[in-house]
């Protein structure tokens, strides 16, 4: 026979497991970093390109190439930013429209390069074409 204490313990455990599953589902926000940066790509320095919630996002530009991205939270400081690459075009073409296009009948493989950070609530991605970033072995494959 189940006691009231046992039933309450089971309910508390089940709600804890359910809540942790909800916390793992983060929204992925994809942005066209090249469009956000615009003509600032021609000016060396650190340029603010976006505000992701309360996080200020800045691109470091040197000699026409994005060499890094910083995400600064007013309460947490600098957030870790990682580099990812993808064969899919995930950046927004226009606000609200996310493209997950395929490259058809191309002999060469086209990659898009993104900087990614997690603000504790959502994932934020800023995508750039290969010609405006320094491509090396430090970029890892993006997985959805």
- Asked if 130 and 96 touch (Cβ cutoff 8 Å), the reply is no
Distance CA 116, CA 105 (A): 29
Distance CA 47, CA 124 (A): 17
Q: Which parts of the chain have pLDDT scores under 50?
A: 17-21, 94-106
Q: Domain ranges in the chain?
A: 27-141
From the list 53, 69, 64, 66, the residue with the least C-alpha distance to 119 is 53
Distance CA 106, CA 111 (A): 12
Distance CA 67, CA 40 (A): 13
Q: Please give the pLDDT value at position 99.
A: 45
Residue 115's H or E segment, with its range, is: strand 112-118
pLDDT in tens, 80-106: 999 999 998 887 554 444 444 444 444
pTM, two decimal places: 0.74
Q: Please give the pLDDT value at position 128.
A: 95
């Amino acid at each position: 026979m189940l006691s009231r204490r046992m039933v309450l313990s089971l309910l508390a455990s089940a709600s804890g497991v359910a809540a942790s599953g909800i916390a793992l589902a983060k929204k992925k926000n994809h942005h066209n970093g090249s469009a956000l940066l615009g003509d600032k790509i021609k000016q060396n320095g650190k340029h603010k390109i976006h505000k992701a919630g309360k996080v200020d996002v800045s691109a470091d530009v040197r000699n026409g190439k994005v060499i890094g991205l910083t995400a600064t939270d007013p309460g947490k400081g600098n957030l870790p930013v990682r580099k990812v690459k993808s064969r899919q075009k995930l950046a927004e073409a226009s606000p609200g429209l996310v493209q997950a296009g395929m490259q058809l009948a191309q002999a060469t493989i086209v990659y898009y390069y993104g900087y990614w950070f997690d603000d504790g609530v959502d994932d934020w991605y800023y995508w750039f074409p290969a010609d405006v970033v320094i491509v090396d072995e430090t970029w890892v494959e993006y997985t959805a």
